[in-house]
Amino acid sequence: MSKFFIRFTFLIFFYSILSTCTNAQSIETSDFYTQIKNYDLAKLLTADSIIYEDFEGVKEKIERAEILGFIGDKYQRFQIRFISIIQNTINPYEYLVYGKTKVKRNICSFQGKIIIKQSKTYLKGDIPEYKQGYSICDVILFEDNKQSSSGLIKGKLKVEFIIDQKDVLRYDALNFPADGFSNNQFVGTWTSYKDKIMKRCNWGDYRIPESGDLDTGSGEFSVNEKYLKNGWENYEFAHSYGPETMESKKAKLEESKKWWK
């Protein structure tokens, strides 16, 4: 058993209490909008790994999970992958984006923009030596209109970050062991080019914002049984606990496929 997972078990309770206490209080912030243009948010959205760090200074690199998402009122599984995000050299608040989405077997490529509209840092963070904060961004993504079932995605994205002693911007994983940990939370809509039908479309790392009764997990994301047939069955098999079976092995293999390539 790795050092990380041993520490993980002991820290879950601590961070659960810390998270509850923090949310119960009004958190004071300082404006960081003029400064955020000097950093690059792109790596926080495209990173394959993140660094968990606790208050004792222990660091562990963790493979970042794939983004979780849904589309529509029946919580159909929605997958998205940002393949390239480039900060605009003329307007550093703007990022040029390329990637792909997947719903059922339908894969669409997209291009678009992420624009920082607001950024703040907390006056008191989880580790005093670090700045801890977030940016609120407008997102607009244009799926390729030549592809099947394509549309326009618009909404708001919240990116949480830390800045360490070396002035390096990093993915905020300080509360990774806490129940309900999440980051890169997007709330928006998808609108069909063909018939203009609009559907809810939300996604995020480790949790999905405003997901109603889709997510029944306390410690981590878990799919409500009544929505399993809406694209979630393979995900649940791959992440189920207990002895590994042929079915779970097959599901894990399917989940590990790089469908965006």
In order, the DSSP letters of 90-139 are S-TTEEEEEEEEEETTEEEEEEEEEEEEEEEEESS-SSTTSEEEEEEEEE
Q: Is residue 183 included in any domain, yes or no? A: yes
The beta strand positions in the chain, using DSSP E, are 29-31, 49-53, 59-63, 68-71, 76-77, 79-87, 94-103, 106-122, 131-143, 151-163, 169-171, 183-192, 198-205
Using pLDDT thresholds of 50, 70 and 90, give the confidence band for residue 50: very high
pLDDT at 12: 36
Q: Is residue 44 included in any domain, yes or no? A: yes
Q: Is residue 191 included in any domain, yes or no? A: yes
For the segment 20-35, the average pLDDT, to the nearest whole number, is 72
pLDDT at 27: 81
CB under 8 Å to 51, separation ≥6 — which residues? 59, 60, 61, 62, 170, 171, 173
Question: Greater confidence, 30 or 246?
Answer: 30
Give the residue numbers spanning the domain of 113: 3-17+28-214
The whole-angstrom separation of Cα 92 and Cα 51 is 25
The pTM of this model reads 0.88
**pLDDT digits 0-9 by tens, 58-80:** 789 999 999 999 999 999 999 99
DSSP code for 232: I
Using pLDDT thresholds of 50, 70 and 90, give the confidence band for residue 54: confident
Look at residue 36 and tell me whether its pLDDT is greater than 50.
yes
Q: Is residue 261 included in any domain, yes or no? A: no
Look at residue 178 and tell me whether its pLDDT is greater than 60.
yes
**pLDDT digits 0-9 by tens, 221-259:** 999 999 999 999 999 999 987 778 888 899 999 999 999
Provide the domain count of the chain.
1
> Hey, how many other C-beta atoms are within 10 angstroms of the C-beta on 237?
18
Residue-averaged pLDDT of the chain: 90
The whole-angstrom separation of Cα 119 and Cα 187 is 17
Q: Is residue 37 included in any domain, yes or no? A: yes
Using pLDDT thresholds of 50, 70 and 90, give the confidence band for residue 22: very low
